[in-house]
Amino acid sequence: MRPRTMAIVLAVLAVATFGSAAGTHANPVRHADAVRHTGTPRSAGTASHVNTVGHNGPAGHPDGRRHADTIKYASARGCSRPGQWPPSPCGKWRLVMHGGERRELADARIAPLDGKGKRLKQSVAPIEVSGDGRHVAYFRKSDNRLVVREVGGGKAHAMAADLLPAGFGMDDVTLMLSQDGTRLAVVYYEERKEPTRVYDTTSGNLLWTAPWDVELLGFSGDGGELMAQRRNDDHFIADLYVFGPRGELLHRKPLGEDYDVGPYALAADGTTAAVVTHQHGHVTIVVYDLTSGRITTRVPVRVKGVLHTVAWTGLAQVTIHAHHKKDTAPTQVRVLQVDTVTKKVTTRESYTILSDSISFESCGG
């Protein structure tokens, strides 16, 4: 059972192919089977931080970096020859910044290679943007290595060379970055039964692994833990799991809900989970204390479209990205911020994905 990179709805093909955006954190599909949004679950950071910090207002981030210079989303353009359907990804990955600037990610593969080194022309290569919009993970054209690049002229750090075992293709993995981009989880296609691997994105070293047979949901707010889930026979969520930095099981919370749930986010403390629930047309953010198993708060949310990602971006703040697609119009993204103490819900921003996008990946935080 797998996510993140999460089932994405193609800006061009959503209605014709799928009808509407799928929820994040679904089991990853092979890129040859569907062109997708690559939006991933987010609630991450680095273990040295004591809490999650998301976008720090309109001007900048805590380290002085301008918010305008961080990634809003990455987009792949679709092209087709006469009589061809669906379109194929073409050109280069485009990074749309929060300030409106567009940059090309020239060294990133736009189409993946399979386990035999064959280019899958009608598939989209994995790509992942960190929650804070400062890092992007992708497969590099020149040597097919998985790298994480810091936005703004930063170096592209290559992950371990054996990241793809023999016979594995780029289409066999889903990528998840922590909120601040210091951790990268590589989730393998479920049939491969390969444990999830977590890497340090600066050194490229393998840090730890997590079981293959649970569906990974993302990092905790400080990047120190991973949250996962396991579904029951009716495809409802039976249990939430939290794994520590050595792959050990820290928490297991039976949800026992008889309605649809997800996406999810784990706070920096590793014990507070935000779960989006859907019941009778109503959406609610439910906050759990995984230590006691108790619900600490519920916040109703009125939103149009599909809730695609949820992330802890403050001690009591949850940020949600909602995707809305109507007919053949471009996908609309609305970013909401939820105060779990006051229960106030505000709109941080709304934007439209480039109309020629065949796939996109938003920052999530």
Task: Summarize pLDDT for 166-181 with one digit per residue, the tens.
Answer: 999 999 999 999 999 9
Query: How much is the average pLDDT of 336-359?
Result: 94
Residue 344 zone, left/alpha/beta (φ > 0; ψ -120 to 50; rest): beta
SS3 16: helix
pLDDT of residue 145: 96
pTM for the model stands at 0.82
Question: Mean pLDDT score of the chain, rounded to an integer?
Answer: 80
Lowest mean pLDDT among 105-109, 126-130, 153-157, 342-346: 153-157
Closest C-alpha to 55, from 311, 272, 350: 311
Instruction: Express each pLDDT in 66-117 by its tens digit.
Output: 788 899 999 999 998 777 777 899 999 999 999 999 999 999 999 999 999 9
Q: Is the pLDDT of residue 38 over 90?
A: no
Split at pLDDT 50, 70, 90, the class of 4 is: very low
Give the strand order in the sheet containing 173-177: 173-177, 183-188, 196-200, 206-210
Note the residue count of the chain. 365
- In order of 47, 54, 60, 83, 141, the CA distances from 50 in angstroms are 8, 13, 20, 54, 36
Q: Is the pLDDT of residue 25 over 60?
A: no
pLDDT of residue 130: 95
Q: Is 94 within 8 Å of 101 (Cβ atoms)?
A: no
According to DSSP, the residues that pair with 311 across neighbouring strands are: 319
Q: Measured between alpha carbons, how far is 70 from 183 in angstroms, rounded to an integer?
A: 18
Residue appearing with tokens 């899958």: 120
Instruction: Express each pLDDT in 282-330 by its tens digit.
Output: 889 999 999 888 899 999 998 888 888 899 999 999 999 999 888 777 8
Looking at residue 62, its amino acid is: P
Query: How much is the average pLDDT of 204-230?
Result: 91
Q: Is 323 within 8 Å of 22 (Cβ atoms)?
A: no
Q: Is 186 within 8 Å of 146 (Cβ atoms)?
A: yes
Q: Measured between alpha carbons, how far is 359 from 11 in angstroms, rounded to an integer?
A: 6
Q: How far is CA 80 from the centre of its chain?
A: 27
Split at pLDDT 50, 70, 90, the class of 54 is: very low
